[in-house]
Structure 1
Amino acid sequence: MKKYFLHRVFRKIAVISALISPVMAMAQGSSGDAKMDAFVKQLMAKMTLDEKIGQLNLVTSGRALTGSVVNKGVEEGIKKGEIGGIFGVYGTDYIGKAQELAVKNSRLHIPLIFGLDVIHGHRTIFPIPLGMSATWDMGLIERSAKIAASEATGEGINWVFSPMVDIARDPRWGRISEGSGEDPYLGSMIAKAMVRGYQGTNMKNSDAVMACVKHFALYGGAEAGREYNTVDMSAIKMYQDYLPPYKAAVDAGAGSFMSSFNTINGVPATANQWLLTDLLRKQWGFKGFVVSDYTAVNELSAHGLGDLQTVSALALKAGLDMDMVGEGFLKTLKKSLKEKKVTQQEIDQACRRVLEAKYKLGLFDNPYKSINSEVEAKTELTEANRLAAREVAEHSFVLLKNKAQILPLKKSGTIALIGPLADNQSEMLGTWVIAGDPKKSVSVIDGVKKVAGSGVNVLYARGSNITDDSLLNARAWFFGMKQERDNRPAQQMIDEAVETANKADVVVAVVGESANMSGESASRSDINIPETQKELLKALFKTGKPIVLVLFNGRPLTLPWEDQHANAILDVWAPGTEAGNAIADVLFGNYNPSGKITVTFPKNVGQVPIYYNHKNTGRPFDDKGPAKFKSDYIDVSNAPLYPFGYGLSYTTFKYSDVKLSKSSLKGNQTLKATVTVTNSGNIDGEEIVQLYVSDPVASISRSVKELKHFKKISLKAGEQKEVSFDITANDLKFYNTRLKYDWEPGEFIIQIGTNSSDVQSASVHWSK
């Protein structure tokens, strides 16, 4: 009954939205662009049924493998008009030849669209998205996407499978590395910035690509943090916490969406009509096209929805426009049309959307618009792009601990650089890198030697392999890839590291996850630093030398031992092409770290899922002392190791009390909340000032607090600055039991601080 009720609620909202919003006609294929409509209509009038279905077929030639299935007969398929696009390829030579086949050898000369997983850079690799989100800097994030688009288009790419905007609260899930963390507001801001960066002001521009927002929807809510697993959540949670970044991407004008692998209300996303049509198109007014994820149409059979013909028809009718790799549309839709399982209008509608995307990209005007070998040579890995990657990486690092201000390091004395990631170019780029060249990345040891200069004696010892766990080693490195291993006995490597550490003034241990230990199909039930590295750290600790951890990770790790024993911890995620230079800049104080984590770090995996904007229970636990019959654990506190928004600096920031412009407001009035932030240390620095709102009395149980605004400020040593935020009734809104987005009068608590736990508060009464 509950599922039936929710379905009725969703359908009712969709119907109402369609009646009240004039843009809903877009869902029926009308684009609002008369010139484009006329062009596409005229072209489709010439197309055969086979050619229309061919536009819905996205294939990969296998040149860049991103899955386990590779299409065959691609060249013949292009000539016959049976392929709408190719992905997983790059380079002007290959793409130019493929486009020429389509334009010169197919009957109607319809150009192909070329897609690629450009996730955090193309040739110049930026930090992984979870790391970039830690900058809280929309300008830097947008700039990274713009550079990625410029490099990708230089090789003929015009469509990128990014941004991934899935909210994720379970660090066991490997693809948490590919998103922006746990908060819907921050995630929405980043989604918009990425779309703007990729698409620019006009997708017909030679340096713009079409964004593909993924994974629609709720993919980050996979049960047990296990890849491709079921998602099941309440409607309120869905609308309040998980859907906003997708909606933000629509509002930013994203050209395409990718369906997710998971189920939603029992129906897989790829065949979910409520999701792809009622919500995305009718409620939100999305004007682009939807592509499946890799073989997701075929996998509907494993979900229990039927054979390939059945599930292909279900997906098309639900609102899916393009079938990635599986060829279910290509092989079955013609038969389904004859058997009246699909309609000609449904095939035409999907074809129209794909053709409109090509029109928006300017491919009908110039199919070769970005296929230029001279541009390719000039745009890739330029000095300017590398400098940008270095800057973004520096801003993404989060200082988790800095006991007795051991950092920044002095540019003198002897440093022992130890760990399996210290002299390792291949692990600098992180997960989901297709075209990046590890040999062109800067290792940590090279960066340290360059930045430290001749006054620092740098000693090195590997200390351990990334992991000696045979199962983890076998499953983390796939498709023939292998861990760069040192085959000496583990104890011999540790002994060498200890001997090296004893010769130094300070130990910099570069440890953590490899690139392949996070990302797609890299879920982990144990999110500690691998045991072999932990044994190394324990041995280094016994030397008595100060220890600075440089932590590589694609997810929050459980670090209670490291937090207790290390003198400093600098989380660098996976920094990208300029990794070593950026890390050295921060270690030696050329840049004062300003990053803040965008996902909560648990003390142990038993606390998962753990996130800041949780709801209270009727028996909340406040961690002030022993208690019974409260919502807590008996073996660990409820508090995380590091809360959302947390990050230290080489200086310190002091916050004043919060001042409100009014104690009571009404209706659409604006409240100004102000706090004075003082740099109370001796080093210039940047601070991300965060504003949260709590709604203690409402018609439903609300989150304990929600991020609503933030500002990044720069303060010189000793300087103070007033930081003000304008708060409106829109910041008070939430989805109620009827899924109406509105606010209710009453008391609200305005909280401003350096992270979600350390805030100053003031109350205000707001009436309607």
Structure 2
Amino acid sequence: MKQQELIDLVKDMSLTEKVNQLLQVTSGFYIDEAILTGPIRENGITEESIAEAGTVIGLLGAEKYKEIQDSYMEKHPHKIPLMFMFDVINGFRTIFPIPLGQGATFEPELSKRLAQVAAKESAVSGIHVTFAPMVDLVRDARWGRVMESTGEDGKLNSDFAKAMVEGFQGDDVGQEYNIAACVKHFAAYGAPTAGREYNTVELSENTLRGYYLPAYKVAIDAGVEMVMTSFNTLNGVPATGNEWLMRDVLRDEMGFDGVLISDWTAIEEIIYHGYAKDRKQAAELAIKAGVDIDMMTGIYSKELAALIESGKVDERLLDESVLRILMLKNKLGLFENPYKDADPIKEKEVILCEEHRKTALEAAEKSFVLLENDGILPLKKGEKVAFIGPFVPEKEIYGAWSMLAKDEDTVSIADAFAKFEGVYDMTFTQGSPVLGAEDYKLIPKHHVKEVSKADEERMLAEAVEAAKGADKVILAIGEHRVMSGEAASRTDLLLPEVQQRLLRAVHEVNPNIAVVLFTGRPLDLREISEKSKAILNVWMPGTEGGNAIANTLTGNFNPSGKLPMSFPYNVGQVPVHYNEYFTGRPFDPKSGEVMYRSNYRDIPNTPLYPFGYGLSYTTFAYSDLTINKNQMTADEQITASITLKNTGDCTGTETVQLYIRDCFGSVVRPRKELKDYQKVTLQPGEEQVISFTINEEMLQFCRVDMSFGSEPGEFHVYIGADSSTEEYVAFELI
């Protein structure tokens, strides 16, 4: 349809019809004529509003989707099609590493390909919109949803935000196998006080603009079709009712002209925050803030018409929201083809096809981060290897948002190593459950697989016996998959106690331990580091996780991942991040001076493993850091170079990282900031000069007046293997 036709359609719709176009309900309401209970009716969700609801959240499958679409359009006054949305976070049925793991690849183009695969599987199943990517900057590992982000750095987050939006949407969201992306959560959802889910956010405007907003802006510039509001308050105002944030910042400053959707029941939660006195006022605040879709409260359906008729809300605000929703449906091509790509036959052909599994394998391998290795990895042929731990047979190695993952589709470590029979002398034992009796409180009860104390002791004894006779132990331990994710905030970043006992018991009889660590967040790994000779962090790797782990442990793949988020020394450090500010009394560990300095008395200031860190089976040497000139003007560039040499005995890939420090400014500047990175593969003994171009845009920041720009002065350039690199060269911006 042409734009004028959409405008005319809005004019022809009744007030009630327009209001209901703003309602989003779950797919359950369209299956078997679900009974509407009294509370749901009172909230404004009725048979009438469902019959005219504009969008649906949930999956039905292509065949059922077509039935629902046909039935809905037949009854709708203007034959406007439904738009279906779903949380496709790190894969549809072919599951990829969690987004935090994808960040560890430092390869946004790979995540773009993953999004394309997820979009294709989603599209043939009847999905039009995914609630991804989440681009919230995260610095606090206590917050469960760190697993859904790509980490603590604004540059990395922005690069992945752009790539994922482009992957889902393609050049034209209406083309075959493309779906609309929804960037979330606007804004600053990743900075809840004390890392507690749904908590308030306290940020200065400079920090908000300088570090938290840029990734959203990059996603908007990439053409993202939707934005989701966040649950949190900002400056004391709930985001979903924050007119300054949604209209002034998001729409006017950032130029977003797409659809703005609330998070689940977020409009009603304005009341619980204490910002609105009732549902009527909540509806008024949200529509005035520009929220176009009400996800699952019915507040708009029940209250908005009366607000308009009383003059409290201008009907033009409603018309704008309806038009934006219809425009997205039009971009998707739903008016011409209400089914878009939904196809039961293609569902069977596309989902979990061999090509998609190969992509999942590649992504998992590249996401793994080797944190420690005292020569114990890779495994050598003929060695007697004991595979011990709850994650040896475990198939639930996909993230909390892997909504459609199935165990039968997933390759475990035990599955993968079956093909190495005869290459290694292998034994397999579980050793412990993922959670012991004292750990059950860490996850919702329906995920708990209870094990008796007697069975725990039996498994532990079996593990000890297996470890005694082995040359090496591969100890597969970690978090249960739902220990990270939404509503999974924790104040303790240690492994479940039952697995800690397993680690200690195995170490007592065999110190040759290589830990394979499954996690959705940074953990406190001090004891694991002390009691193991290698740590391979595999995150939640997804469908092909077991095969990727086997390829890596056997040396068929050389790990190359780098941490997208600092791993703290202990929980007392968090939030911890590499690009912190200096203080007036900075601590220098080399000086030995501890009194009246900004430092902890009991632990280091620095994390156990810093941002950008990751080892390889080979080694790399950095030398000869140079720049081609020591002064530049705003319209000039500087070339910074370093020589990288593979000093080991196998081929390896290194992520070379460029950091810059602005030595002083109108506001204090971080110790250093990531500005660029390159992945380089070198043969043993090979060396290469790696060069980066530094321009004025890379020196810009949020200044004291909240504008972005650079300021003349001295800058330091660092190039190295991670954010802890200290050698630098200086230049001046004049």
TM-score w.r.t. length of structure 2: 0.96
Q: Does the 8 Å CA contact 1:78/1:102 hold for their aligned counterparts?
A: no
Q: 1:286 aligns with which of 250, 256, 267?
A: 256
Amino acid at match of 1:352: L
1:383 paired with 2:349, answer no
The aligned counterpart of 1:763 is 730
Q: 1:102 aligns with which of 40, 60, 72?
A: 72
The aligned counterpart of 2:432 is 464
**How far does residue 58 in structure 1 lie from its aligned partner after superposition?**
0.5
The aligned counterpart of 1:345 is 316
Residues 722 and 302 of structure 1: is their aligned pair in 2 closer, same or farther, counting only changes over 3 Å?
A: same
Amino acid at match of 2:322: C
2-side partners of 1:388 and 1:444: how far apart? 18
The aligned counterpart of 1:725 is 692
Q: 1:247 aligns with which of 203, 217, 221?
A: 217
Q: Does the 8 Å CA contact 1:63/1:89 hold for their aligned counterparts?
A: no
Amino acid at match of 1:596: K
Amino acid at match of 2:284: A
| Deviation sequence 1:149-196 (CA, Å, 0-9, x none) | 000001000100000000000000000000010000110000000000
2-side partners of 1:598 and 1:481: how far apart? 28
Q: Does the 8 Å CA contact 1:79/1:106 hold for their aligned counterparts?
A: no
Q: 1:429 aligns with which of 398, 411, 422?
A: 398
Q: Does the 8 Å CA contact 1:301/1:307 hold for their aligned counterparts?
A: yes
Counting matched residue pairs gives 724
2-side partners of 1:266 and 1:177: how far apart? 27
1:193-592 aligned within 5 A: 193-304=163-274, 305-403=276-374, 405-425=375-395, 427-450=396-419, 452-470=420-438, 472-478=439-445, 480-483=446-449, 485=451, 488-592=454-558
Say which SS state the counterpart of residue 141 (structure 1) adopts.
helix
**How far does residue 294 in structure 1 lie from its aligned partner after superposition?**
0.5
1-side partners of 2:398 and 2:625: how far apart? 42
Say which SS state the counterpart of residue 146 (structure 1) adopts.
helix
Say which SS state the counterpart of residue 390 (structure 1) adopts.
helix
**How far does residue 260 in structure 1 lie from its aligned partner after superposition?**
0.3
Q: Does the 8 Å CA contact 2:511/2:532 hold for their aligned counterparts?
A: no
- In structure 1, the gaps of 5 or more residues are 1-34
2-side partners of 1:622 and 1:387: how far apart? 47
**How far does residue 377 in structure 1 lie from its aligned partner after superposition?**
1.1
| Deviation sequence 1:645-704 (CA, Å, 0-9, x none) | 000000011111211011111221011111111111111010100000001122221101
Bigger shift: residues 106-115 or 659-668: 659-668
| Deviation sequence 1:119-163 (CA, Å, 0-9, x none) | 000010000000011001112110000000000001000100000
Amino acid at match of 1:94: K
**How far does residue 331 in structure 1 lie from its aligned partner after superposition?**
0.8
1:660 paired with 2:627, answer yes
Residues 758 and 352 of structure 1: is their aligned pair in 2 closer, same or farther, counting only changes over 3 Å?
A: same
1:678-697 aligned within 5 A: 678-697=645-664
2-side partners of 1:42 and 1:442: how far apart? 53
Residues 228 and 733 of structure 1: is their aligned pair in 2 closer, same or farther, counting only changes over 3 Å?
A: same
**How far does residue 577 in structure 1 lie from its aligned partner after superposition?**
0.4
Residues 439 and 486 of structure 1: is their aligned pair in 2 closer, same or farther, counting only changes over 3 Å?
A: farther
Say which SS state the counterpart of residue 516 (structure 2) adopts.
strand
Say which SS state the counterpart of residue 109 (structure 2) adopts.
helix
1-side partners of 2:632 and 2:711: how far apart? 13
Runs of 4+ in 1 over 6 A off after TM superposition: 69-75
Amino acid at match of 1:473: Y
Residues 64 and 603 of structure 1: is their aligned pair in 2 closer, same or farther, counting only changes over 3 Å?
A: farther
The aligned counterpart of 1:14 is none
Amino acid at match of 1:322: I
Say which SS state the counterpart of residue 488 (structure 1) adopts.
helix
Residues 161 and 486 of structure 1: is their aligned pair in 2 closer, same or farther, counting only changes over 3 Å?
A: farther
**How far does residue 567 in structure 1 lie from its aligned partner after superposition?**
0.5
Aligned-pair identity in percent equals: 43
1:647 paired with 2:622, answer no
Residues 710 and 441 of structure 1: is their aligned pair in 2 closer, same or farther, counting only changes over 3 Å?
A: same
Amino acid at match of 2:425: N
Give the RMSD, CA atoms, in angstroms: 1.8
The aligned counterpart of 2:3 is 37
1:745 paired with 2:712, answer yes
1:163 paired with 2:155, answer no
Residues 486 and 446 of structure 1: is their aligned pair in 2 closer, same or farther, counting only changes over 3 Å?
A: farther
**How far does residue 713 in structure 1 lie from its aligned partner after superposition?**
1.1
Q: 1:58 aligns with which of 21, 24, 41?
A: 24
Q: Does the 8 Å CA contact 1:429/1:436 hold for their aligned counterparts?
A: yes
Bigger shift: residues 276-285 or 480-489: 480-489
Residues 750 and 79 of structure 1: is their aligned pair in 2 closer, same or farther, counting only changes over 3 Å?
A: closer
The aligned counterpart of 1:22 is none
**How far does residue 338 in structure 1 lie from its aligned partner after superposition?**
1.8
The aligned counterpart of 2:582 is 616
Amino acid at match of 2:405: G
1-side partners of 2:617 and 2:308: how far apart? 66
Say which SS state the counterpart of residue 212 (structure 1) adopts.
strand
The aligned counterpart of 1:86 is 56
TM-score w.r.t. length of structure 1: 0.92
The aligned counterpart of 2:34 is none
Q: Does the 8 Å CA contact 2:29/2:50 hold for their aligned counterparts?
A: no
Q: Does the 8 Å CA contact 1:79/1:105 hold for their aligned counterparts?
A: no
| Deviation sequence 1:552-588 (CA, Å, 0-9, x none) | 0000000111112200000000000001000111000
Say which SS state the counterpart of residue 59 (structure 2) adopts.
coil
The aligned counterpart of 1:701 is 668
1:605 paired with 2:575, answer no
